[in-house]
Structure 1
């Protein structure tokens, strides 16, 4: 269906994307509100595409499907995504993505890689090494950095001179996605075990003497605290890697990105505050702390 035929519904579709982002990604959503409207709406559209992809595997309805049925759904979604990148639009949510791709052109590969990440969830319920987990984190979250970096844009100060080369922010964008996914994993250990999934690398469980049965029982002991402290430090290292790319971004994107980065990293501090008890309590950054961090992130965006 041509995008033009959906023009009257486009604003409504973007509003639907806004509402969904606000409902399901509160910390991320706060950062997007600091962007100019056009960039803000593009990020919402990309987020909803990613959520639609994730829901193929993680929705309540998906839990009743067989592996074969889920694989078929992913194959269908991949074809629909390829069609979208070729200009074929079948509904309003496709239309907002097509509009976003038209305004902010990008490569299809990160989108296909994310679908591959969902395919990993068909067969992977354990991750032997961190290298295995890192691949998963790249596919389901590092790709988001690649999808959104073109929307954020690069500061013209780095590209306006004839001899200038546009800086490559890809590594930092991927690092931020991996950091965010590692944070999700640490926050959601209790929830994931209920679905029979353990994302913490098996090599790390062995290293700290914390067994899979301990994890399934939600056992809080010194081995668990040492294991989690190690995992939090690793996640923080990935956030630090991501920081190097923020200064290259366009002026209207640096504050939102710093805000999202710092607030999401704050979840790691929240895990420490609940003494690593992610089995029984949810770690989150409160509204007051979110508001207090805005001027700090603004200062970093101006001077770092």
Structure 2
């Protein structure tokens, strides 16, 4: 089985590189300067254990990645707002029977993918990684790089779930099939509501207050919608002490995925599918979500205007909320 890692940024790049080192047949799909660097120099993986170059094949789209070989399992690791474009590319060359595994934040990707592919798997990604320069990805936890539990969407596990989990374990990850993976992903969604705060605001008590308000709204929206979600204690127990974040020589882990989008100046950010998911649920079920709506709009504006991460005073946002 070949593994097409579609989106070779922080999560996809680290995962693809480690799968390749574990002897799996892997091809990365990337674009722009990142693709150029991968083709020229290979994938540079920086971790607490050192920095190394991994000679993993890279392609610019699904057709090039597929080549004459097949079949493939797709590991989809683009940001949620990039899913539609990825699906348009994937469906141009792959049959509907192709397994597609979503290694993405948020909970909107799996139902979208099911419109086009019959075998959709969700992964709850607990994986501190970074990607700030072309050709380079950062793994910030060692020796375990991350926890990647997987399950079929909308529920249950199957042969694909077991095969994917086994491949992840071969690459050094902690992974097991979970029939309720979407309940785990909804807990991760609650944690990701603070991504916009981290991206837009400097750390401090006001930022903590703002993030707390966003999570409280999220919990209320999930409850009103009757959506199953794993509890905080269960999530904490699963993580245990498995993820041991340590310094990476010459590099600082300054922020998560949304912060990195602003830092790289990509012009876009995935908060529409994080805070925006809470806003959507609130509108459907009559739950006020002003903090999430404000964070969603603020992050989108900052990304579109090339704003600097941390440049919006959290106190100003709190004042607007009243």
Query: TM-score under structure 1 normalisation?
Result: 0.30
Structure showing the higher helix proportion among its residues: 1
Structure with the larger RCO, 1 or 2 (CA within 8 Å, 6+ apart):
1
Query: TM-score under structure 2 normalisation?
Result: 0.29
